[in-house]
Amino acid sequence: MKNEVYMKVITIGSATLDVYVKSKAFQVLKSDEFITGEGECLAVGSKNEVDDIFVDTGGGATNAAITFANLGISVATLVRVGDDLFGREVERVLRDKKVSLDFLQKDKKYSTSYSTLLLLGSGERSVLVYRGASNFLELPKKQLKADWFYITSLGGNLKLLGQILSYAKSNGIKAMYNPGGGELKNGLPKLEKHFKKLEVLNLNREEAATLCGVEIERMDVMIKKLNNAAPYVIITDGSAGAYVLHDNQLYFSATLGTKPINTAGAGDAFGSGFCSGLILKNNLDYALRLAILNSDGVIRIVGAKNGLLEKLPSEKDLKKVKIKREAI
C-alpha cells in the first residue's frame, strides 16, 4: 500500500518540552504521606534562588526513540504535539536523529506537553507535568507496520491502550509497555487483561507498588503478584539495580555504582535499552546488560536524551554488568 511505512519499532506516548531546575532551596521531607516516603519541598511563601536551569525535549516516546535510532534500529514515533514553538523543537530533535515523523500528529487547539523537573543535589527529581496535546493522541488511520510497539504513558487513556494492543495482536506486533500514573491508578485487576497482550511490562518500584496496592518496601509481594503478568516483567529499583521476571525466574542486576547527577529519563533509557536487546539478539542477559549501560549514561548528565548509548557497547563494557538468577 502506498501509505505504508515499515519501521522495526514504533514508540507511542508523549512528547514534551522539559525544563530542569536545580536549587539548593529544595528540601527533602520524610513523611508517610508520600508514596516514596519522601517529599521535595519549598517553604510556603518563600522566594528561592535557582542554581542552574536546562531546557531539552522529553517524553517517554521521544526519549526511547533516540535510543533505538542511536543503536541502528529503524524507528518512528507516534506522538501528538501542538502547532507551536515547542512542537517544532520536538520535531527538529527527532529529525536530526533520523527518527521517522510519519506518525507525528499536530494539534491545532492544545499546546505541546510541558514538564518542569525539580532537581535535588542527589540527582533525584520531582516532575510537574502539563500533558496538553499528548492527551489527545489517536491511533492513526494509516497502517502501522512494525515488529514492535514501545508504549509509554497514555495519560490514563485505557481505551487508546486497548486499541493499540488489539492492533498489535491482530498484526503480529510485539508490545512493550511502561504505564503512566493515569493508567496505574486503575489497579492490577483492571489492567491485567491488557498486560496479557504484552511481551514486556516495564515498571519502576514506585509504579509496581501503586499497581499492586502495597507498600513500597514489599518487593516480595510485588514479585509474587506480577510474576507472569507478561512474558517479561521489569521492576527497576533506582540505584539498587533492576529485576526481570521471566519464565518463573528472577534476574537481578546491580547498577554500576555511578553517582547520579540526574535521574530524569533513566527509566526510559533502561526500558528502551532492554527492548533494543530483545530486538537485536532476543536474549534476556544481553537485553539487561544493554539496559543497565544505557541508563548509566543518562544519569551522568542532565537531560533525558543526553548520555544515551550512541553505539552498541563492547563485550568488555557488557561484562561490567553482573547478573544473578534464581527461581521464583
- pLDDT reading at 3 higher than 70: no
Span of 14-28, 140-154, 185-199, 305-319 with lowest mean pLDDT = 14-28
- pLDDT reading at 46 higher than 80: yes
Q: Are strands 5-12 and 16-22 parallel, antiparallel or unpaired?
A: unpaired
pLDDT tens for 222-240 read 999 999 999 999 999 999 9
120/215: higher pLDDT: 215
* Residue 148 domain-assigned (yes or no): yes
Spatial separation of the C-alpha atoms in residues 116 and 130, rounded to whole Å: 9
pLDDT of res. 123: 65
**Comparing C-alpha atoms, which of 279, 282, 292 is closest to residue 323?**
292
pLDDT above 70 coverage of the chain, percent: 98
* Residue 29 domain-assigned (yes or no): yes
Span of 120-124, 134-138, 203-207, 303-307 with lowest mean pLDDT = 120-124
User: For the domain that residue 64 is a member of, what is the CATH number?
Assistant: 3.40.1190.20
pTM: 0.90
Domain that includes residue 80, residue range: 5-42+52-327
Report the number of distinct structural domains present in the chain.
Answer: 1
Read off the pLDDT of each residue in 152-170 and give the average, rounded to a whole number: 96
Helix-strand-coil split of the chain, %, nearest 5: 35, 30, 40
pLDDT of res. 1: 36
The residues, any chain, with a CB within 8 Å of residue 32's CB and separated by 6 or more, are none
Compute CA distances 228 → 197, 225, 236, 279, whole Å. Answer: 12, 8, 17, 21
- pLDDT reading at 71 higher than 50: yes
CA 83-73-160 angle, 5° bins = 50
CA 268-293-165 angle, 5° bins = 35
- pLDDT reading at 2 higher than 50: no
Read off the pLDDT of each residue in 280-289 and give the average, rounded to a whole number: 98
pLDDT tens for 183-199 read 999 999 999 999 999 99
Mean pLDDT, the chain, integer:
93
* Residue 47 domain-assigned (yes or no): no
